[in-house]
C-alpha cells in the first residue's frame, strides 16, 4: 500500500514537472495617463498573439506564455521604472512587450531592461533618440523612428514644389524629435525652414504663436502636434486669421475630431502622414482582429501584435525561454530570408522553426527590422477632402 502511494506521488510529481510552468511575459503600457484610451486595445492585441502561440502547443518544451500587465503611465519615468522592476524581479518575466511612450521607454530600457538583460519590444515609442540608445541589443521596436517620418514629410513637401515652410511642434520629446528630423531631411533636399517654434498644449489661445509663424514669410505650415490639443488650436487660429493656406500634418494630427471642429474650411488644404501598411499583411491582420472583436485600425494595435509575436517566435528559435537567447534570434525571425509569416500563422511559423527552417515574419505591419532593431516603417499619406481624410498612397 505504501509503495503504491509512493509511486502515485512520484508519478504525479513527474507529470506536473512535464507540463512546464507558464513563462511570464511583461506587457507594460500606459494604462493610466494620456494614452489610457488606446492602451487597452494595444494590450489585448499583444495578448492575442501570446495566446495564439501558447495555444498552438508548439513552443519549445510545450511552454505557455502568460502575459503580466504593468502600468507605464506614459509620462512618469520613476513610476514606469518601478513597474518594470517589479515585472523583472517579482514576476520573473523573460521579455517585455512595451513600453508605449518614448520617455518612459527610454527610462525602462536604461534602468531595468538593459542592466538586467531583458528584451524589450516597444510597439509605439517613435523618438529618434531611441535609435542610438546604449542597449546591448536588448531594445527593439515594431514602430518606426520619427526620423523616418521626417524624411517622408520632407519628400512630400519638396515634391509639391514648396521650398520654404514654417514648422510648429508640440513642446515635448516627440514634437522636438520629429521637427528636427524633418528639418534635417528638408534642408538636405535644399528646402528652407523659415521658423521652427514649439507650442505648448492645453492653452486657450494660439493666436500669438500663429502670428510669429506667419511673420516668418512662409506660406506653408508643418504642424507636428496633437489633434485634440495645441495642434488643433494652431490650425484653427491659422485658418481664422488667414495666416496659412497649406498645411502638412505629422501623425499626431490625424483624426476626425479636427475636421469636425474646424469645419469645411480645411478641405483641400492639408496633406498628412501616419504609420500605416497596405496590402496583404494589413488585410490578413484585419480579418484576424475582427474575428477577435478588435479594431484592426486602432492606434498601434497591429504593432502590438507584432511585438508580442516576435517575442514568442524568437523564443522558439532560441529553443528555450532564455532572455539572451530571445535577444539573439530576434533579427533572424523578423527579417528575410525565409518563409513569409503573416498574422494568425504563428503555429505554422513555430512548426517551421522546429524543423530548423528560416522564417521571415511579416505579421500585421510587414515587419522589417533595420539598423539597431527598429521597424523600417511604412506611412500612409492622406489629404483632407470633403470633410474626411482620403488616402493618397503609401510610402
Partner 1 sequence: MENFLNALVLFTNFVVIPATTYGAQLALGALGVTLIYTVLRFSNFAHGDLMAFGTMLTIMVTWGLQALGIGIAPLPTALLALPVGMIGATALALLTDRWVFAFYRHRRADPVIFVIASVGVMFVYNAITRFFIGVGDQRFEDGARFVIRVPDFRAMTGLREGLALRTSQVLTVVVMALAVAFVFWFLNRTRTGKSMRAYSDNEDLALLSGISPGHVVRVTWVLAACLATLAGVLYGLDKSFNPFVYFQLLLPIFASAIVGGIGQPVGAVVGGFVVAFSEVTLTYAYKGVLTYLLPEGMAPEGLVQLLGTDYKFAVSFVILVIVLLVRPTGIFRGKVV
**CB of 51 or CB of 232, closer to partner 1:** 232
Q: Where do we find the cell 495666416?
A: 243
- Minimum distance from residue 208 beta carbon to partner 1 (Å): 5
CA distance 159 to 312: 41
CA distance 285 to 300: 13
Examine residue 37 and tell whether it contacts partner 1 (CB under 8 A).
Answer: no
Instruction: Yes or no: say if 253 and 231 are a contact pair by the CB < 8 Å rule.
Output: yes
66, 216, 324, 335: which one contacts partner 1 (CB under 8 A)?
A: 216
Kindly indicate which of the ranges 31-39, 67-75, 127-135, 200-208 contains the residues binding partner 1, using the contact rule CB under 8 A: 200-208
Examine residue 232 and tell whether it contacts partner 1 (CB under 8 A).
Answer: yes
Examine residue 173 and tell whether it contacts partner 1 (CB under 8 A).
Answer: no
Examine residue 158 and tell whether it contacts partner 1 (CB under 8 A).
Answer: no
Examine residue 75 and tell whether it contacts partner 1 (CB under 8 A).
Answer: no
- The H or E element spanning position 342 is strand 339-342
Examine residue 200 and tell whether it contacts partner 1 (CB under 8 A).
Answer: yes
58 CB burial (10 A radius; 0-12, 13-18, 19+): middle
**CB of 232 or CB of 323, closer to partner 1:** 232
**CB of 67 or CB of 231, closer to partner 1:** 231
- Minimum distance from residue 126 beta carbon to partner 1 (Å): 24
228 CB burial (10 A radius; 0-12, 13-18, 19+): middle
55, 187, 240, 278: which one contacts partner 1 (CB under 8 A)?
A: 240
- Minimum distance from residue 217 beta carbon to partner 1 (Å): 7
73, 131, 183, 214: which one contacts partner 1 (CB under 8 A)?
A: 214
159, 205, 293, 386: which one contacts partner 1 (CB under 8 A)?
A: 205
Residues 6+ apart with CB under 8 A from 75: 30, 33, 34, 101, 103, 104
- Comparing CA positions, the residue from 43, 22, 28 lying closest to residue 300 is 43
Instruction: Yes or no: say if 192 and 164 are a contact pair by the CB < 8 Å rule.
Output: yes
161, 190, 242, 337: which one contacts partner 1 (CB under 8 A)?
A: 242
68, 129, 261, 286: which one contacts partner 1 (CB under 8 A)?
A: 261
Instruction: Yes or no: say if 220 and 192 are a contact pair by the CB < 8 Å rule.
Output: no
The torsion angles phi and psi of 34, rounded to 5 degrees, stand at -60, -25
Kindly indicate which of the ranges 35-43, 144-152, 209-217, 380-388 contains the residues binding partner 1, using the contact rule CB under 8 A: 209-217
- Minimum distance from residue 365 beta carbon to partner 1 (Å): 30
Total number of residues that touch partner 1 (CB under 8 A): 29
**CB of 99 or CB of 243, closer to partner 1:** 243
**CB of 219 or CB of 368, closer to partner 1:** 219
Kindly indicate which of the ranges 57-65, 202-210, 310-318, 325-333 contains the residues binding partner 1, using the contact rule CB under 8 A: 202-210
Examine residue 195 and tell whether it contacts partner 1 (CB under 8 A).
Answer: yes
- Minimum distance from residue 100 beta carbon to partner 1 (Å): 20
Instruction: Yes or no: say if 270 and 387 are a contact pair by the CB < 8 Å rule.
Output: no
Cα four-point dihedral sign 304, 309, 311, 312: positive
- Minimum distance from residue 116 beta carbon to partner 1 (Å): 37
- Comparing CA positions, the residue from 105, 90, 95, 87 lying closest to residue 65 is 95
Residues 6+ apart with CB under 8 A from 124: 42, 100, 101, 141, 143, 299, 300, 303, 304
Instruction: Yes or no: say if 101 and 31 are a contact pair by the CB < 8 Å rule.
Output: no
Examine residue 171 and tell whether it contacts partner 1 (CB under 8 A).
Answer: yes
**CB of 65 or CB of 166, closer to partner 1:** 166
**Exposure letters 313-342 (e unless 16+ CB within 10 A, then b):** bbbbbbeebebebbbebbebbbbeebeebb
Instruction: Yes or no: say if 300 and 180 are a contact pair by the CB < 8 Å rule.
Output: no
Q: Which positions lie near partner 1, rule CB under 8 A?
A: 171, 195, 197-200, 202-205, 207-212, 214-217, 228, 232-233, 236, 240-243, 261
Amino acid at each position: 500500500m505504501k509503495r503504491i502511494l509512493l509511486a502515485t506521488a512520484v508519478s504525479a510529481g513527474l507529470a506536473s514537472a512535464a507540463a512546464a510552468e507558464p513563462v511570464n511575459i511583461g506587457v507594460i503600457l500606459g494604462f493610466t495617463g494620456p494614452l489610457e484610451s488606446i492602451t487597452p486595445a494595444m494590450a489585448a492585441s499583444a495578448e492575442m498573439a501570446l495566446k495564439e502561440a501558447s495555444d498552438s502547443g508548439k513552443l519549445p518544451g510545450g511552454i505557455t506564455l502568460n502575459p503580466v500587465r504593468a502600468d507605464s503611465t506614459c509620462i512618469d519615468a520613476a513610476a514606469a521604472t518601478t513597474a518594470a522592476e517589479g515585472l523583472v524581479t517579482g514576476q520573473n518575466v523573460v521579455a517585455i512587450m512595451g513600453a508605449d511612450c518614448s520617455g518612459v521607454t527610454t527610462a525602462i530600457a536604461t534602468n531595468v531592461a538593459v542592466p538586467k538583460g531583458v528584451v524589450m519590444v516597444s510597439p509605439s515609442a517613435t523618438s529618434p533618440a531611441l535609435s542610438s540608445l546604449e542597449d546591448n541589443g536588448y531594445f527593439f521596436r515594431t514602430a518606426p523612428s520619427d526620423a523616418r517620418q521626417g524624411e517622408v514629410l520632407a519628400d512630400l513637401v519638396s515634391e509639391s514644389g514648396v521650398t520654404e515652410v514654417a514648422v510648429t511642434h508640440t513642446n515635448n520629446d516627440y514634437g522636438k524629435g520629429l521637427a528636427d528630423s524633418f528639418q534635417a531631411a528638408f534642408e538636405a533636399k535644399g528646402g528652407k525652414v523659415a521658423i521652427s517654434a514649439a507650442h505648448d498644449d492645453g492653452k486657450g489661445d494660439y493666436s500669438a504663436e500663429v502670428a510669429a509663424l506667419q511673420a516668418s514669410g512662409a506660406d506653408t505650415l508643418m504642424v507636428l502636434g496633437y489633434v485634440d490639443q495645441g495642434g488643433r488650436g494652431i490650425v484653427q487660429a491659422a485658418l481664422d486669421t488667414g495666416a496659412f493656406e497649406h498645411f502638412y500634418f505629422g501623425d499626431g494630427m490625424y483624426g476626425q475630431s479636427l475636421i469636425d471642429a474646424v469645419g469645411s474650411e480645411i478641405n483641400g488644404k492639408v496633406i498628412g502622414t501616419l504609420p500605416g501598411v497596405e496590402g496583404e499583411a494589413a488585410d490578413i491582420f484585419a480579418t484576424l482582429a475582427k474575428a477577435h472583436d478588435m479594431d484592426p485600425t486602432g492606434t498601434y494595435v497591429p504593432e502590438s501584435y507584432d511585438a508580442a509575436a516576435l517575442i514568442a517566435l524568437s523564443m522558439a528559435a532560441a529553443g528555450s525561454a532564455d532572455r539572451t537567447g530571445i535577444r539573439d534570434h530576434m533579427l533572424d525571425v523578423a527579417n528575410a530570408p525565409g518563409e513569409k509569416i503573416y498574422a494568425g500563422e504563428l503555429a505554422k511559423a513555430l512548426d517551421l522553426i522546429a524543423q530548423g527552417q528560416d522564417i521571415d515574419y511579416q505579421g500585421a505591419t510587414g515587419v522589417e527590422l533595420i539598423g539597431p532593431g527598429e521597424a523600417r516603417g511604412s506611412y500612409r499619406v492622406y489629404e483632407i477632402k470633403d470633410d474626411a481624410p482620403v488616402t493618397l498612397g503609401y510610402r
